[in-house]
Amino acid sequence: MDTDRCPSGSCPVPGGGVTRRQFLSRAWWVAGGLLVAEVAGGLVVSLWPKAKAGAFVTKISVMSLQEARAMPVGTVAYFTEQRLYISRVESGLLALYRKCPHLGCVVPWLPDDPTEDDLAQRGRFNCPCHSGIFDRYGLVHGGPPPRPMDVFPITIEGDEVVVDTGNPIQRSRFDESQVIEI
Ligand code: FES
């Protein structure tokens, strides 16, 4: 190539091929396109598994059937990570969401407080935010909560007590359909 007449390599190539400048320009476009595709693909991959994982972890085995049957009536067990209580009532087990139905505070179980039901001598839920009081069925006995504590669907699967923590159920009263017999 005559570099005096084509100093930047932009002269047409005999036979209809591309010049060096055209080649470099296209190479930059291709590299840029690949970079954008890689970034977009990475975003999709990083977001997709989280959405799927959330869908998979809602049903959780909290104890064996044997352990559940060993709970005396009136016992309340706290599952911190699952954010729920298992309350042993007369007819079976109730899974109570720890989130207060008033403004969402975490409701602690206080085993030494006076009882609000006839299942045991002592123990009740007492929300520290506005003194919402609940019994072992999650029913309101004082304070501003507008409804009982929410419950989770609970089932027996094989030898395991399984709670579906992805589906808290609001309710206006207690009925036996909320309990799983053991
Ligand atoms: S948030 Fe529990 S009583 Fe208000």
**What would the pLDDT profile of 14-51 be if each residue is shown by its tens digit?**
555 667 777 677 777 877 667 766 766 555 545 444 44
Q: Tell the CATH topology of 59-178.
A: Rieske Iron-sulfur Protein (2.102.10)
Task: Give 148's Cβ-side CA count (13 Å radius).
Answer: 20
Asked if residues 25 and 116 have their Cβ atoms less than 8 Å apart, the reply is no
Measured from the Cα of 130, ligand 1's closest atom is: 3
b/e map of 45-80 (b: 16 or more CB within 10 Å)? eeeeeeeeeeeeeeebebbeeeebeebeebbbbebe
At residue 69, does pLDDT exceed 70?
yes
CA separation for the pair 182, 180 (Å, rounded): 6
Supply 98's token pair: 């720890």
What pLDDT score does 29 carry? 82
- pLDDT number for residue 45: 47
Cα atoms in the 13 Å half-sphere on the side-chain side of 42 = 6
Beta-strand ranges (E) seen in the chain are 59-64, 76-79, 84-89, 92-97, 109-114, 122-126, 133-134, 140-142, 154-157, 160-164
| Cβ of residue 13 lying under 6 Å from some atom of ligand 1 | no
Percent share of the chain, pLDDT over 70: 76
Ranges 2-16, 25-39, 122-136, 149-163: which has the least confidence: 2-16
Ligand 1 neighbour 143 (Cβ under 6 A)? yes
Identity of residue 32: G
Sign of CA dihedral 62, 64, 68, 70: negative
Q: Is 127 in the pocket of ligand 1 (CB under 6 A)?
A: yes
